[in-house]
Amino acid sequence: QEKHVIELWHKLELIYMSKDLTSKMHLKMKLFSHKMQEGGSGLNHMSIFKEIIADLGSMEVQYDEEDLGLLLLCSLPNSYKNFCDTILLTVMN
Is 56:24 a contact under the CB 8 Å cutoff?
yes
pLDDT digits (tens, 9 = 90+) for 10-67: 877 766 666 678 888 899 999 999 999 999 999 999 999 999 999 888 888 899 999 9
Overall pTM surpassing 0.85 (yes/no) = no
Residue 52, pLDDT score? 93
Residues 6+ apart with CB under 8 A from 62: 56
pLDDT of residue 2: 72
Mean per-residue pLDDT, 73-89: 94
Report yes or no: 52 and 35 within 8 Å, Cβ to Cβ. no
On the question of pLDDT at 71 being above 90, the answer is yes
